[in-house]
Amino acid sequence: TKYVAERPQRGYVIIAHKGAKATFPLQSCMFLQGDTIQAVHNIVIAEEGSEIHLIAGCASSMDTKVGAHYGVNEIYVGKNAKVTSTMIHTWGEEVEVFPRTCTVVEEGGTFLSNYVCMKPTKMVQMYPTAYLKGEGAVARFSGVVVAGTGSYVDTGSRAVLQAPNTSAELVTRAITNGGTIISRGAVVAECPKTKGHIECRGLILKDGVMHAIPEIEGHVVDVELSHEAAVGKIARDEIEYLMARGLSEEEATATIIRGFLDIKIEGLPPALQKQIDAAIDSADNEGY
């Protein structure tokens, strides 16, 4: 954040005025050209009763050998507003990525955050946080991450419940194909009558590191917090079951992996779901 603040401001500002509802997703692209450092500061404001869907594609050019992306994102979800934010990373193998995102959700607001990283990247470090400040506010984070050999992916999300009847759900699917994945999740309940759940599931397809760190923290009575985490491998009997129905071993494995990564996100517009499905299909075709 300091690096971005000390440099000329680049990025976008999106404002959904009171009662406005976007019919189609708003699309943006962060593109890294050449061996350089990209620094951006983005601001999203959804005023009372508005609804917007954002999809951000982040990529680097084929001639980019090394580089870095520093991104600061501020998101404000007003009373009874809804923001759906989907980020798809397709950076180069030697690019380091450091997004920093903070969201404030007011009374009755809904924030849905979806993250997809299927391509080999040298390093990704991100830990977006949502502060649910208004009664009845809701936040849901969904992540799909694949790390190949040489990749270091430290991702997660955090929700702070600061008003009655607020709730948060954090769901992650992760696969290491020789890389390192640190999957973090935290729900902090600072107010009664709040609920939070964390779910992290990982597969190890090739020797690598899968480190799940779920945290639930309650400060008052009358809160409901839970978490579950699992790391494992593809069961041999599942592969044999599909092979008995005519699939090759490679096809059976790919089918199981795709089903594992396939998160259907409640409330996600069909156009955004298609983008996520396309990213997963692309990863399948490249041998993940």
Q: What is the pLDDT of residue 252?
A: 81
Buried b (16+ CB within 10 A) or exposed e, 221-260: eebebebebebeeeeeeebeebeeeeeeeeebbbebbeeb
**40-99: per-residue pLDDT in tens?**
999 999 999 999 999 888 888 877 778 888 999 999 999 999 999 988 888 888 899 999
- In this model, does residue 14 exceed pLDDT 90? yes
pLDDT band (50, 70, 90) for residue 113: very high
Q: What is the pLDDT of residue 262?
A: 66
- In this model, does residue 115 exceed pLDDT 80? yes
Interhelix angle 249-261/236-243, rounded to 10 degrees, is: 120
Question: 250: which residues sit within 8 A by CB, 6+ positions away?
Answer: none
pTM value surpassing 0.75: yes
Could you give the CA distance from residue 169 to residue 189 in angstroms, rounded to a whole number? 13
Give Dmax over CA atoms of the chain in angstroms: 60
